[in-house]
Structure 1
Amino acid sequence: MKQSQPQRREFLRYVGTLAALSAPAMQAAANEKDKISFPPTEAKSEKPEKTEPPGDPMSERIGVAIVGVGRIAVNEMLPAFAQSKHAKPVALVSGDRAKALKVAHQYDIPESAVLDYKEYEKLAQMPEVQAVYIALPNSMHAEYTIRAAKAGKHVLCEKPMANSVAECQQMIDACRKAGKKLMIAYRSQYESNDRALVKMIRDKKLGTLKEFISVNSQNMGDPQHWRLKRALAGGGALPDVGLYCLNAARFLSGEEPVEVMGNVWSTPGDARFREVEESCQFVLRFPSGFIASCSTSYASHKSQMFRLNGSDAWAELNPAYAYSGIKLKVSRVVEGKEQTSEVQAEDKNQFAAELDHFAQCIQQNREVHTPGEEGLQDQRIMEAIYESARTHRPVRLKAPGRTRGPEPQEEG
């Protein structure tokens, strides 16, 4: 009996060590094992060279089915998998099989994993698919999120979350009932310049926030595009591009608006805007006195920017909301002189960043940063903007519950 005591102690110590290691710690230890470093070659005066942290082995990455192979999926999300460290595309769902097969060939996805929408429930029998990315017209988000949850899959859904508050709640309820994660693809909240600005704000580098001024506009061409059909899009410029301004005012300030005023306009006789608004202007008032003034249009030359004015400094993203090329400027008084400087944030693919956050939250069973409640709150506010535009009166907003999860973890 005495001879077995050291072995028993070693076993208990081993078990205790395993119990102490959280999923993130275990993954960090595995990544450290695969980490590669190089001796410096340049002088200390130069910016240090950075070697990217290792990604997961392909066998350990989260398998994602892409639902809808339109522009954002083909041009942005699928290429982002090449820069992802924790996810991989393993299936496609599309009504256009010929196009889907071309995409599948590029990403080494087998033909058997290319499904039609009528075959969507087959995902339940595909263990290699752990999650879906929904890149469909807005009116289809609720249906395909609910069906994915019933099939036992986690969901990353494009914004806007849905066409109504009721649909948003149904999506949240379905994923909660199934025990699956629901994340809304607010890519700007994972973009490196926006992340740098959030840190600046939280560290009080701008002082007290006073106002947010933003424009997000583009000139739509095809009058038959689904974004100009109310049944598919739910609205015009506001839910598509104006939503970026609305969401930025919320996540940058860390506050929720208490009142909104809105106005919409469509040029008479313009065939593009028979069903949805051409432009929308809105003002959000927050509890601290912070004010957001935003304008969005479907009939103006592309313009994407915002300026955030604080008591001690201002910060500006111009362009903002874009897929790439975002620039962050900050201006403040230094030694009695106004000094404006460009902040060099790390250049990262924002689609890969949001994808990796989603995948890691699944791997480590963590709460996502932009859950369904975040999309639900934006939908509530957009409906209030439309109500204000219709009644020509300000609309009061009720305080929501918690809408956002913990801040995304930085990998390094």
Structure 2
Amino acid sequence: MSNLPNPAPACDPSRRQFIAQTGRGLLAVGVAGTLGNLPAAAAPITDQAADLVLQSGPTDVKLPEINAKTEPKGTSIPNPQPVDQRVGYAVVGLGHLTLEELLPALSQCKKSKLVALVSGDADKMSKVARQYGISPQNCYSYQTYDNLKDNPAVDVIYIVLPNSMHAEYTIRGARAGKHILCEKPMANTAKECEQMIEACQKAGKKLMIAYRIQYEPMNRKVQEMVRSNAFGKTKIIEATNTQNQGPPDQWRHKKALAGGGALPDIGLYCLNTVRFLLGEEPAEVAAHMYSTPNDPRFKEIEENMLFTLRFPSGVLANCVTGYGSYTSKRYRVQAETGWIQMDPAFSYHGLKLEQAHAPDGNEQKAQINLGEKNQFALEMDHFSDCVKNNKTPYTPGEEGLQDQRIMEALYQSARNGGKPVKLKNETAKLDAFRGTPPTEGQS
């Protein structure tokens, strides 16, 4: 990891004086241990203690309980890492996902921070930079992108560009000496994915693909239930991800930029989530696709695709994805004595997890509520933890490459009238393409 900014300088006299005068009620609890056994309210805040609080030592804050044991527990304190210890991110591309989700999520991160922007729209970037406090010297165009190599504040480049640009900017970013977090799908071809992996390995940098579902707590709970056979063996998984696309001139409708239509954009959630839940790799796939004639949105890309995945354990997955119908983002796991359902499952917010269990013939339904967490913040903080502690990300480049290979087999089947395509399974190991799982604190 490149050098992080130096710690904040010592407090100036006026700031130190302010802390000493006002800190008795605010900071005494945190420094009482260093000042002896005085009651917290009576512990004086000296200049030396104030500097210690602001600059060194553990930073987690603990507060005394104020409610009776009968009361629901309140929200826990976020306890983010000090700003100078967080991993610095340069975000490339200022479209909807970046502005609506990623930049707000960075403000909720505990281990990550925004330090630079890259965009081809100078006016928009200037406005965003002012909104998020990014200095002009940390704003780059696509032409000056390679100059990120000279910015020690940037540890990670997060690529949020049209799919066809992922390979180029990953390879250039790795050559600039930065770790890479890349949006899904990883690229437009398996060959490009392989080149991305090779470039990062050659540069000694980490590569992670942004499969946020694999870091989201309720989806991880379903994985736990599936893997533990909570309702007996899983038999069938049904997954659907559809949405009604808008104007035809957007990049997602151009094959050269997107690589395909509904499948690589939103159908990938069905494919990747099923693989994530089971830990297995499909042995055989089959697919059918169809586009509405004369719809200008689908001149170059597919509108709808139905596909099946057959796994070595005997589990069958039936997946549906489409660009021309009302939003539906759900899946259901059918097991021997019950089912587990996420609806919605793939949305950014408002996920719901339900189950039905009937081991003795009496069905019992329940909703599982684990609280909403920002999926993008969890994802980025996982990568930051891997960067700082030299761990392999849970969703590395190899995970994205495997999905791309499977999607290419699905297109092959669809072009051949749905004829099944057998896949090479080089290993029977579970989670063969995944790295270090997210820590408990992140989930």
Q: Which residue of 1 aligns with 2:49?
A: none
Given that 2:92 and 2:159 are in contact with CA atoms closer than 8 Å, whether structure 1 keeps it comes out as yes
Tell me how far apart the structure 2 counterparts of residues 49 and 213 of structure 1 sit (CA, whole Å): 36
Matches within 5 A, 1:297-312: 297-312=322-337
- Inter-partner Cα distance in structure 1 for 2:70 and 2:412: 57
Please list, as runs of the form range in 1=range in 2, the aligned pairs for 1:265-284 lying within 5 A after superposition: 265-284=290-309
Match of 1:196 in 2: 221
| Larger-Rg structure | 2
Please list the CA deviations of residues 80-101 of structure 1 after superposition, one character each: whole Å capped at 9, or x if unmatched.
0111001111111100010011
Could you say what secondary structure the match of 1:309 adopts?
Answer: strand
Q: Which residue of 1 aligns with 2:420?
A: 394
Is 1:409 the counterpart of 2:439 in the alignment? Answer: yes
Q: Would the aligned equivalents of 1:196 and 1:345 in 2 still touch at CA under 8 Å?
A: no
SS state of the match for residue 286, structure 2?
strand
How many residues were matched structurally? 383
| Corresponding residue SS for 1:264 | strand
Query: How far did 1:46 drift?
Result: 3.2
Q: Spell out the pairing of 1:31-46 with structure 2 (5 A cutoff).
A: 33-46=58-71
Aligned partner of 1:313: which letter? G
Which segments of 5 or more consecutive residues in structure 1 lack a partner in the other structure? 1-29
Q: Is the 8 A contact 2:353 2:368 kept in 1?
A: yes
Task: Quote the Cα distance in structure 1 between the aligned partners of 2:140 and 2:131.
Answer: 16
Residue 196 of structure 1: how far off its partner (Å): 1.6
- Match among 367, 372, 375 for residue 400 of structure 2: 375
**Per-residue deviation at 1:51?**
1.9
Residue 34 of structure 1 deviates from its aligned partner by 2.2
Q: Distance in 1 between matches of 2:63 and 2:113?
A: 28
- Structure 1: which 4+ aligned runs deviate by more than 6 Å? none
Pairwise CA distance, 1:39: 2.8
375-384 or 46-55: bigger deviation: 46-55
| 2:106 pairs with 1:81 | yes
User: Which amino acid in the other structure matches residue 433 of structure 2?
Assistant: T
Scaled by the length of structure 2, the TM-score of the pair is 0.84
1:29-87 Cα shifts (integer Å, max 9, x gaps): x9993222233333333333342352111111111100011111111010001110011
Hey, what's the Cα distance between the residues in 1 that align with 2:152 and 2:61? Answer: 32
8 Å contact kept, 2:91–2:116: yes
Cross-structure match for 2:183? 158
Q: Does 1:130 align with 2:159?
A: no
Aligned pairs (5 A) from 1:318-397: 318-333=343-358, 336-392=361-417, 393-397=419-423
RMSD: 1.6
Partner SS for 2:349: coil
- What TM-score do the two structures reach when normalised by structure 1? 0.90
Question: 1:91 maps to what in 2?
Answer: 116
> Mind listing any 5+ residue stretches in structure 2 that lack a counterpart?
1-54
Q: Which residue of 2 aligns with 1:24?
A: none
Could you tell me whether the CA contact under 8 Å between 1:304 and 1:322 is conserved in 2? yes
**Shift of residue 317, structure 1, vs aligned partner:** 0.4
Verify the 8 A CA contact 1:85 1:356 in the aligned structure 2: yes
How far apart, CA to CA, are the structure 1 residues paired with 2:111 and 2:260?
Answer: 35
